[in-house]
Amino acid sequence: MRERLIRRLQPLRRRLDPLLQRLDPLRRRLEPLLRWLEPLRLPALSVLTAMILGGVLIALAGGNPLDAYAGMAEGAFGSPRAVSETLVWATPYILAGLSVSLAFRGGLFNIGAEGQLALGALSAAWAGHSLPRLLGADLPAALHLPATLLLGALAGALWGAAPGWIKARAGGHEVISTIMLNYVALNAVSFLLNGPMKDPAPGNVLSRSPLIDESARLPALVDGFRLHWGFPLALLAAALVGWGLRRTAFGFEIRTAGQNPDAARYAGVRVSRTVIVTMALSGALAGLAGALEVSALHHRHELGFSQGYGFDAIAIALLGKAHPGGTVLAALLFSAMRSGATRMQFLTQIPIDVISVIQALILLFVAADTLVRRIYRIRGERERLVLTRGWGG
């Protein structure tokens, strides 16, 4: 039976052979692109699976999933202003996601990005308002704006270096220390915004700092829109992180210490120093995200402004496989969902909370990629990403 079927198919095969030979050069040209896209397959399928389950939840709530997702897309990309708002959301997501991704590449789990971002914003708010008064002279924008952003990044770096030092010197797990330092940072910010740094304007009852000076404000990228120069700065940061990890000696030390600390020590890498500096750089990226929010958008530190950027950054880094390019794409996806959520709710009456559910499902399927492989019957060894090395590792 089998031989008879093969004989019948022989004429068809002979006819197709010339066509396949003509397509062979195209196949060879596409092979590098397909290899480059291969790492995106599992994250893309994770997002697809989460969207399907999200659609089921929307249907159970009495809504139309297609209408809901169409409304979300319209709210995120349906007009120049919608695109602008999506990229505004993407700016802190990219930087906070890079913060967590960089720590991942070093074998560290930085859950403290939210606290580092908050302290970066607070330091930028202080520098934007109080630095000229402390110096007793007005500062030109060429000095005041960079100083504001640098102080924000420095605050995040110091708060990130603390758990790095605890891990390197005392063996404390960075997951525990970053969680605890989040509480310290967020409560310290609340205390300062309700006390010494509260806006003294008459009648103000809100927990917020005074407005920063004009010289400390980052200008808009396009007139009439909220999109600001922080977005290209975030893309530049992603490019620098990718270049640094791949092209510099210290980037090699970060990757080696993250993959195999014992081998790194044998190769002469000072692992303890690498851990501290990696966490400091991770915190600096999160602090810069907070500083940009103050300098470009709010022009002051308002309690609760973050929208959970630092916590969403964990999902973004996981979805992006801790790769700078993947992190940017994941940040754009999350920002599109957040930006389009309001329009979706307006058009379909579906609560915005469904977006958080979908994002949680994305995180679930990214973390449990073996489940995604089984659903779609994908063969191959599971890609492993080192997140942490345990107590004192």
The number of C-alpha atoms within 13 Å of 183 and in the hemisphere containing its C-beta is: 5
CATH number at residue 219: 1.10.3470
In a domain, 17, yes or no: no
The number of folded domains in the chain is: 1
Query: What would the pLDDT profile of 291-329 be if each residue is shown by its tens digit?
Result: 999 999 999 999 888 888 999 999 999 999 999 999 999
- Across 48-54, average pLDDT: 92
Instruction: Please tell me which residue, 267 or 237, carries the higher pLDDT value.
Output: 237
| pLDDT band at residue 391 under the 50/70/90 scheme | very low
Concatenated DSSP letters of 157-175: HHHHHHHHHIIIII---HH
> What CA–CA distance (Å, rounded) separates 300 from 315?
28
Would residue 168 count as lying in a domain?
yes
From 142, 285, 288, select the one nearest 215 (Cα to Cα): 142
The range of the structural domain enclosing residue 181 comes to 64-349
Average pLDDT over residues 265-274: 91
Confidence at 372, pLDDT banded by 50, 70, 90: confident
Residue type at 179 in one-letter notation: I
**Position 282 pLDDT exceeds 90:** yes
Alpha helices per DSSP H over the chain = 2-37, 41-60, 65-77, 80-105, 113-135, 141-165, 174-193, 230-247, 249-259, 261-266, 271-292, 309-319, 324-348, 353-367, 369-376
Cβ-count burial 69-78 (b if 16+ within 10 Å, e if not): bbbbbbbbee
Residue 261 · residue 393 · CB < 8 Å: yes
Q: What is the pLDDT of residue 33?
A: 63
Q: What is the mean pLDDT of residues 270-292?
A: 96
Tell me, what amino acid is at 24? D
pLDDT at 322: 92
Task: Give the pLDDT band of residue 390 (cuts 50, 70, 90).
Answer: very low
Mean pLDDT of 367-391: 67
Q: How many CB atoms neighbour CB 227 within 10 A?
A: 22
The pLDDT assigned to 305 comes to 87
146-199 pLDDT per residue, tens: 999 999 999 999 999 999 999 999 989 999 999 999 999 999 999 999 999 999
Output the pLDDT for position 392.
38
Name residues whose C-beta falls within 8 Å of residue 275's C-beta, 6 or more positions apart in sequence: 106, 108, 164, 167, 168, 257
Question: Token pair for residue 115?
Answer: 């606290």
- What does the pLDDT read at residue 130? 93
pLDDT in tens, 206-234: 899 999 999 999 999 989 999 999 999 99
Mean pLDDT of 21-30: 72
Please indicate, yes or no, if residue 387 is contained in any of the structural domains.
no
Span 340-369, pLDDT tens digits: 998 999 888 888 888 889 989 998 888 887
Question: What is the percent of the chain with per-residue pLDDT over 90, rounded to a whole number?
Answer: 64
Question: Is the pLDDT confidence value at 393 over 60?
Answer: no
Q: To the nearest whole number, what is the mean pLDDT of the chain?
A: 89
Bridge partner residues of 302 (DSSP): 208
Residue 24: inside a domain, yes or no? no
- The pLDDT score that the predictor gives to residue 179 is 95
Cα dihedral: 150, 152, 156, 158 (round 10):
60
- 151 contact partners, CB below 8 Å, separation of at least 6: 123, 124, 126, 127, 131, 291
Burial of 83 (0-12, 13-18, 19+ CB in 10 A): middle
Distance between CA 139 and CA 312 in Å, rounded? 36
pLDDT in tens, 127-151: 999 999 988 888 999 999 999 999 9
Instruction: Tell me, yes or no, whether 166 lies in a domain.
Output: yes
Band of pLDDT at residue 204, cut at 50, 70 and 90: confident
